[in-house]
Each structure stands twice: as structure tokens, then as C-alpha cells.
Amino acid sequence: MRCPKCGCVESKVVDSRPSDNFDTIRRRRECTSCGFRFTTYERREETPLVVRKKDGTTEVFNRQKIMHGLVTATVKRDVPIERLEALIDDIVADLRDRGVSEVTSASIGDMVMRRLIDLDKVAYVRFASVYRDFKDPEEFTAVLRGLS
């Protein structure tokens, strides 16, 4: 690791500790040339997760898209952002545990809805109304009946 102060490539690890969720190692390093201390983070290399959309196109998984949908669904609801982050983390972990490299957008939407119904039923209905693209009030009413 190159020293950010002098550019020397030699450094020693002074302290090392895992992050809270154990997916990153934080290392404090000291340059052997100038003594400058700096922090590095080590993560395992992962293959990118690809999402196949309804129209057949693919794109790299973007957790911000899910977060945007969840924030929109939980507007004026008492749902902390940390709970939404945890929901997305759970989905990503589930996909990684399955060992898949490609997933459909419909599968991701279903995974979000399964978790959202336990988190906040109003947010679930809001998310479902956009995700399922209801064509008439009867479809919407059927979802509401299913909640009671």
C-alpha cells in the first residue's frame, strides 16, 4: 500500500479490526519511510450482481434504486433509515448466499415486498401499488383484503 504522504510502498500494519458486520477489515498502517499513519480497508472481491429487467436488458445491481423505492414507500411513516438499510443488506446477503450472479428485477421486487410487509403494512401497500402496476381499483382492494 502506497503511503499517501511520501509515496513509499513499504508500510506495516499497526492495528487491524473487523467492521461491525464483519464484511470489511479496517487496518491502521504506518509508513516505514516517513512514519505517517493512515487507514486502509480490505474487502473480499465479489463478482457483480446483474439484474435482468422486464424488457430483457441487464444492468449492475444498484442498492440505491431499492432504497429510493423504499424511502418513497415509507414517506411520513415511522420507519428508520437503518431498518431500510438492513432490509437491503438482507436481500443482498440472501442473493450472495444463493450464489447467483444474475437475478430478475421481479425476484428483487418480490424479496422487497416479502420483507416490507413485516416492516410496515402501509409502506407495503404503497410499494406494491407501484411495483405491481395495478390497472384497476379491484386489484388494489384485493391486496388490502389480503392484509387483514
pLDDT of residue 141: 78
pLDDT of residue 72: 94
State the 10-residue block means of pLDDT for the chain, 148 residues long. 93 90 88 96 83 95 94 93 92 89 93 92 86 74 72
Query: What pTM was estimated for this model as a whole?
Result: 0.65
What is the 3 state secondary structure string of the chain?
CCCCCCCCCCEEEEEEEECCCCCEEEEEEEECCCCCEEEEEEECCCCCCEEECCCCCEEECCHHHHHHHHHHHCCCCCCCHHHHHHHHHHHHHHHHHHCCCEEEHHHHHHHHHHHHHHHCHHHHHHHHHHHCCCCCHHHHHHHHHHHC
